[in-house]
Structure 1
Amino acid sequence: MWEVICFVFSKLLFFYLVYWIWSLLFFIMPVFHIRNSFKPGIKRVAGIWTIAHRGGPREGLENTIPTFKKALDNGIQVLEMDIRLTKDKRPVVCHDENLQRLCGVDKKIQDFTYSQLPKLQEKVEIHFSSLTYQTTEEDDRQIPLLEDVMKAFPNTPFNMELKVNDQELKVEVLKLIRKYKREQLTIWGSVDEQHCLTCRAMAPEIPTFTPAAVVKKIFFYFFLGFLPFYNIPYDTFQFPFPNQEYINYTKKYVGTSPYHKLYLLILQIYNALGLFIFFHLRRRGIYVFYYSLNKVQDMDTATGKYVDGIITDSPSVLVDYANKKDD
């Protein structure tokens, strides 16, 4: 009996070692599920693409055309934005479902037709910080239509998050992407996995980003050695940088429950292992973006971890950092 147990154990150990050897080999030199769909045709600065989160809410009124223009004038290369649908089925660029923070109105954006939408407030609380933005004469307090943003910046790459799992929203956004021939100038998706899969099924030629559930799977499969064999059907991997600003933000909006503490712990471990995970993802043709970084120290840390892009609320700070590093 003991000999049988030893024999079985030795065989299992052998197969286990062989599995990990192959896993390590394909982790370093991946050959499965290679992607390379996103080709924006823009030159990197200091090895990265510079991306303005909502246009840069620390330097302008978030998700508005003047703020997007200001970011591009400062040298930003990609605009990140959030898309929702109004009552009359028009895609607009707006992050929040409830308009209390942005407009001072305790109603949802889908309760209004576009012409009924209230103006943005003169003072707007900035996410991921304790700051508020005070509008100036340069700001436009109108929530913009996505179509108007596309018209204003026809050659600029967009990173768009569809904020609700609504088929009508996906259909309307896709119509605009195709109308303005932005298939290779747009990344779209959602934190919801099914939402992202639907986007990919509707338009496989348009790059997508990894939803939250897939980010968790990548972390889990990395420890199991299964990551090199796991099909990631997305083109960009976008991950939060766990600085103090982000930690404070999640405490405010998620709370300090045991789940939140576990989430932060996993985030810290993920970040510590980022050098290895991001290396593998990039070898598979998946671009890696870190968000939202606003301090030079954090940007320095990020650029040392095989990232392709940095998403920021402070476009001028990021562009200045990248230009100096590129000299």
Structure 2
Amino acid sequence: MIGMMLVAVFGGYFLASAILFKYPTLLHKKKKLKFKPTHISHRGGAGENLENTITAFQHAIDVGTEMLELDCHITADGQVVVSHDNNLDRVCGQAIKVIETEYKALPPIKNCLGVQFKKDALCHSCSQDVKIPLLKDVFQAFPTMPINIDIKMDDDELISKVNELITEYNRENLCIWGSRMEKVKKKLRSVNSNVPLFYSFGGIMKLLLLFYSGLLPFFPIQESSMEIIMPSIVLNEENCPFELNKKQKLLVRIADKLLMRPSLFRHLERRGIQTYLWVLNEDEEFERAFRLGATGVMTDFPSKLKAFLDAHPEYRREEQI
């Protein structure tokens, strides 16, 4: 008797899970973003222009990018700047911290930078633009371009100032923001729930647990985008900036199997949640990402991704909503 009851309970659970997995809008309202980018320029296209500069962003837009990805820090005098690093040694050649320096005292960007996601690649400045820009400069220069904002530090003033700029420039529907830190992501949601969120690392781990347990279709999702590395890119020795031993390579392959699940991507898409894979810089990586069902690809080489999409129009997503 107990066995039959357990069979009925678990059978009902798995059936309901399967139905809701395929038809999640029976339980959840589908999210509707004002953008659906296929082509996303990582740091504005760090392989073609100095990263996170106005010149890089303009070039990416000129070649047809549909979203700019950038990073934010705050200076000692409360200015929100577009920079991936707080310590400016890599980018500017001076071991000073953005958070401890006034904006006017920030040094210029070096004329040549390495490309972090492409081994031995160097990006040389092709303009005189070596200034770390303010976030408001980017908003003013590109008022209609969707922007993906990565908050790099757990700093309440930074979060508050970024939100003020988003609202001042009426960009709540044209930005998506988040952090790799779950604590920061929660703060962002509490500050302004109208701005779409992307998953933190911890959030992605929870998402995978729900997915593999069959519970995901029953849970509401706050986030609007899952932005994850495609683990297989680090197995390419020509591109990986560090060497992996056999054990590490095995772990990467396991991670790739767990993360790169077309069925998960399809379920999220049915719920209006977009998937962006990063940072992809080769045609074979672009091809795999779109075959897996990714909404968009983040790249350091916007011209290369543009050429790939021109050659493969079947991977272009529907027009912006």
TM-score normalised per structure 1? 0.88
Where does residue 11 of structure 1 map in the other structure? 5
Aligned length: 312
Residue 313 of structure 1 pairs with residue 300 of structure 2: yes
Quick one: which of 242, 247, 268 aligns to 2:256? 268
Over the matched positions of the two proteins, sequence identity in percent amounts to 32
CA distance in 2 between counterparts of 1:173 and 1:23 reads 39
Where does residue 284 of structure 1 map in the other structure? 271
Q: What CA deviation, in whole Å up to 9, does each residue of 1:193-250 have, x standing for no partner?
A: 2211221222111111111111111111111110101222011111111233477788
Cα deviation, residue 139, structure 1: 4.4
Where does residue 318 of structure 2 map in the other structure? none
Where does residue 115 of structure 1 map in the other structure? 104
CA distance in 1 between counterparts of 2:235 and 2:298 reads 13
Find the residue that maps to 2:256 and give its secondary structure: helix
CA distance in 2 between counterparts of 1:60 and 1:76 reads 14
Distance 1:172 1:256, change over 3 A: farther
Cα deviation, residue 257, structure 1: 11
Distance 1:257 1:246, change over 3 A: closer
CA distance in 1 between counterparts of 2:137 and 2:146 reads 15
CA contact (8 A) 1:61 1:139 kept: no
Where does residue 124 of structure 1 map in the other structure? 113
Where does residue 14 of structure 2 map in the other structure? 20
Runs of 4+ in 1 over 6 A off after TM superposition: 246-251, 255-258
Q: Which sections of structure 2, spanning at least 5 residues, go unmatched?
A: 315-321
CA distance in 2 between counterparts of 1:102 and 1:307 reads 31
Corresponding letter in the other structure for 2:313: D
Higher mean C-alpha deviation, range 117-126 or range 87-96: 117-126
Distance 1:250 1:116, change over 3 A: same
TM-score normalised per structure 2? 0.90
Where does residue 85 of structure 1 map in the other structure? 74
Cα deviation, residue 104, structure 1: 1.3
Quick one: which of 187, 208, 217 aligns to 1:228? 217
Measured on the aligned residues, the alpha-carbon RMSD in Å equals 2.3
Cα deviation, residue 95, structure 1: 0.4
CA distance in 1 between counterparts of 2:210 and 2:250 reads 18
Where does residue 286 of structure 2 map in the other structure? 299
CA distance in 1 between counterparts of 2:132 and 2:40 reads 21
CA distance in 1 between counterparts of 2:210 and 2:31 reads 22
Q: Which sections of structure 1, spanning at least 5 residues, go unmatched?
A: 1-6
Where does residue 85 of structure 2 map in the other structure? 96
Corresponding letter in the other structure for 2:173: Q
Corresponding letter in the other structure for 2:16: W
Quick one: which of 144, 147, 154 aligns to 1:158? 147
Distance 1:88 1:278, change over 3 A: same
CA distance in 2 between counterparts of 1:162 and 1:305 reads 28
Residue 36 of structure 1 pairs with residue 24 of structure 2: no
